[in-house]
Amino acid sequence: MAIQIFNSLSRQKELFKPIEEGKVRMYVCGPTVYNYIHIGNARPVIAYDTVRRYLTYRGYEVDYVSNFTDVDDKIIKVAHELGEEVSELTERFIAAYFEDITALGAEKANAHPRVTDHMDEIIEFIAVLIEKEYAYVSEGDVYYRTRKFKNYGQLSHQSVDDLKIGARIEAGTKKEDALDFALWKAAKPGEISWQAPWGEGRPGWHIECSVMVHSHFGDTIDIHAGGQDLKFPHHENEIAQSEAFTDKKFSNYWMHNGYINIDNEKMSKSLGNFILVHDIIQQIDPQVLRFFMLSVHYRNPINFAQDLVEAAANSLDRLRTSHKNLEHRLTATTNLVAVDPAELAIIEEARAYFIESMDDDFNTANAISALFNISTAANKYLNEANTNAEVLTAYKTALEELMLVLGLQLAQDEDLLDEEIDALIAERQQARKDRDFARSDEIRDLLKAQNIILEDTRQGVRWKRG
């Protein structure tokens, strides 16, 4: 096995060697649950789900953990605005998160630990850092003594002195040094809080990931992953906390995915181009969204633009059509010709190229081109008058196998038959006459989901497939 991973620590591709033969310990920073995830959050979900699928395909047993930040300033603020309990709000958006990632074809992690379930461990972890003098209490807050950690800046490749220049001096700070960061925040009146030996409060954001990793995996993991925006300070701080705690290396490989732009602009609420997965998958097949994201290497930026998404939809459709045609021919064919070894060789070569591409730092863009090599050759073969079932099956199986590695589904919902559509339209007309608008809307949505376009004409309602 020769998988190369671009490691943000060394800024180069390295041969992947897990701590334990055949096993991978992988941690991915998860969402703060006070809203639906946006498509920027969907990227790491899809990218690292694909990494996990590929490592599994290559024979590794992957233990994959991703956390939920279920208490923080934003959560408290939104819960307060909505007049909801913090736990009600977070439960709602954890459920929504699972719905969205399932639609995107991502599997649940082996564990999804939550901050509020790990409070005792977080407090113990901080107590050890205080004892080791890597942290100090200041008026009920606890801060990490950044300068004491000698390797600070190793992941983001910055020196502590460079950081010092950029660090803001906050008025009335309780910190010894501007670079220090909060491990624990003293409770404000009326806020949700927990009792620690140094006082009431709640954890800072960075500490949770160090604690989740340690409690699930122990001292060192193989892969830690997340969005590029998390590299500094979040991941840098995780390293500082964990390595001060264990005196061991925290993670051997660090993976960071690139940003998403919308029509070449940064996504932001103020620009009004903030896209939630929950909304966009009403308009775009979530599998198309997944295919679109995988068509760009995970480290490169992605530009989310309508024409590019449409192109992705067409490409995915081509793969699905090839597969459908192979299936169809297999129901009809008899072995009119012998197996052509050249055809099988094309498939093997494409499979080898797929693996070579994915071995090369999970190059899904090239892996997708391997899928097209298969589908193009399959289409050519299907054009021949006489075909062989073994060859057809080999094409079909290769498409199924490799698309599954990328989490792409071939089978779509069964299309409605023409007479079923006619019957539904008639039923809708009747429902409208009967003023049963609930049923009439339900049928409209059902037809819309099947891409059926309705037109009102003098002769009545006509329809076509979109």
Annotated binding site: 29, 209, 234, 238, 269
Q: Which residue number, 146 or 241, has a Cβ lying nearer to Zn ion? A: 241
- Tell me how far apart the alpha carbons of residues 28 and 148 are, in angstroms, rounded to a whole number: 27
Task: Say if CB 122 and CB 135 are below 8 A apart.
Answer: no
- Binding-site positions for ATP read 269
Least Cβ distance, residue 178 to Zn ion (angstroms): 22
Least Cβ distance, residue 323 to Zn ion (angstroms): 38
- Tell me how far apart the alpha carbons of residues 45 and 129 are, in angstroms, rounded to a whole number: 32
Least Cβ distance, residue 296 to Zn ion (angstroms): 24
| Interacting residues with Zn ion (CB under 5 A) | 29, 209
Q: Which residue number, 29 or 101, has a Cβ lying nearer to Zn ion? A: 29
Least Cβ distance, residue 234 to Zn ion (angstroms): 6
Least Cβ distance, residue 258 to Zn ion (angstroms): 18
Least Cβ distance, residue 235 to Zn ion (angstroms): 7
Least Cβ distance, residue 156 to Zn ion (angstroms): 14
Q: Which residue number, 224 or 323, has a Cβ lying nearer to Zn ion? A: 224
Strand partners for 68: 114
- Tell me how far apart the alpha carbons of residues 50 and 68 are, in angstroms, rounded to a whole number: 20
- Binding-site positions for Zn(2+) read 29, 209, 234, 238
Q: Which residue number, 62 or 225, has a Cβ lying nearer to Zn ion? A: 225
Q: Which residue number, 67 or 373, has a Cβ lying nearer to Zn ion? A: 67
- Tell me how far apart the alpha carbons of residues 56 and 304 are, in angstroms, rounded to a whole number: 29
CA of residue 410 relative to chain centroid, distance = 20
Least Cβ distance, residue 115 to Zn ion (angstroms): 11
Q: Which residue number, 3 or 122, has a Cβ lying nearer to Zn ion? A: 122
Q: Which residue number, 239 or 416, has a Cβ lying nearer to Zn ion? A: 239
Least Cβ distance, residue 29 to Zn ion (angstroms): 3
Q: Which residue number, 122 or 408, has a Cβ lying nearer to Zn ion? A: 122
Q: Which residue number, 28 or 106, has a Cβ lying nearer to Zn ion? A: 28
3-state secondary structure the chain: CCCEEEECCCCEEEECCCCCCCEEEEEECCCECCCCCEHHHHHHHHHHHHHHHHHHHCCCEEEEEECEECCCHHHHHHHHHHCCCHHHHHHHHHHHHHHHHHHCCCCCCCECCEHHHCHHHHHHHHHHHHHCCCEEEECCEEEECHHHCCCCCCCCCCCHHHHHHHCCCCCCCCCCCCCCEEEEEECCCCCCCEEECCEEEEECHHHHHHHHHHHHHCCCEEEEEEEHHHHHHHHHHHHHHHHHHHCCCCEEEEEEECCEEECCEECCHHHCCCCEHHHHHHHCCHHHHHHHHHCCCCCCCEEECHHHHHHHHHHHHHHHHHHHHHHHHHHHCCCCCCCCHHHHHHHHHHHHHHHHHHHECCCHHHHHHHHHHHHHHHHHHHCCCCCCHHHHHHHHHHHHHHHHHCCCCCCCCCCCCHHHHHHHHHHHHHHHHCCCHHHHHHHHHHHHHCCEEEEEECCEEEEEEC
